Chains A and B, each alone.
Chain A
């Protein structure tokens, strides 16, 4: 009993110290700051958003390292790490054969790595000092361009160029501009949904953290906006990419 009371007293003390420190500190909100590298290459100025680039390479490095680690010690009876990776692979394999029909294993590496990259990108912000690369609109737009290329290429390969172009003249030829705009709107909404969710969550986190002076409440907010929303949005992005592919491939 007395041990528990000591623990409680200690917690209250830490909290009081934190509140006292927080009241002394000056809250400051900085949103939209984007550090950039600028350099000249052949007369053109090249701008790289340095934090986004570093963070996305960090995410890719983590996954490449994990994949190499798992591959280097593949076993007949999987260990804990290998079992996790096998579960993820199997999940997406099932998802693809549910959506596109069986025999479409070729899509697995694309869908799987898209999800893993976006997922880690979305949740990496819960680690202090790191920032989500998807907070920069360029990353979702890049992923969206990959998705659109994949969707239209697989549609052309499956149906043939003539039938693919004919699909734009449905139900009658004057609908061509509307169909093209519809295809573009798919991509735009895909990219902006991810960006808006992550950026909105980040802004709410910043503002609320500054309001309560970084005491206690941001932990729960980080769990919700970082882990929950990040996972859901990464899954939704990949699911929609799959659904668009399924619609484009079927006639």
Chain B
């Protein structure tokens, strides 16, 4: 049995880092988008004729709060496909 070489350690660390980045990065957007959707539901139930406007505004807000999650996705992709090559 051979020992672990440095390059293998780097690959392992890159994969582990990708998993950690995606896992922690998904928490914030998940909570934020769920909160926005819940509030939009409340708003629509309170005044249903504004449903179109509320949905549109909710989507914009969700998209903005999603971008941090997308950043961590990009970092994870970089780690998997570039750093672990």
Contact = CB atoms under 8 A, between A and B. Distances in A.
B13 interface: no
A200 interface: yes
Interface in B48-85: 56, 59-60, 63-64, 66-67, 70-71, 73-74, 77, 81
The binding surface of chain A is classed by DSSP as helix
A232 B58 CA distance: 12
Contacts of B73: 196, 200
B60 A192 contact: no
Nearest to B62: A236
Interface size class of A (residues with CB under 8 A): 10 to 19
Contact of B70 (A192, A203, A232, A235): A192
A22 interface: no
Contacts of A196: 70-71, 73-74, 77
Contacts of A197: 70
A149 interface: no
6 contacts: A31-B81, A189-B64, A192-B70, A200-B70, A203-B77, A235-B59
A32 interface: yes
Given A192-B74, A193-B70, A196-B73, 14 more contacts: A189-B70, A192-B67, A193-B63, A193-B66, A196-B74, A196-B77, A197-B70, A200-B70, A239-B56, A239-B60, A239-B63, A240-B63, A240-B64, A243-B60
A199 interface: yes
B7 to A, nearest CB: 20
B39 to A, nearest CB: 18
A196 B71 CA distance: 8
Contact of B59 (A192, A195, A199, A236): A236
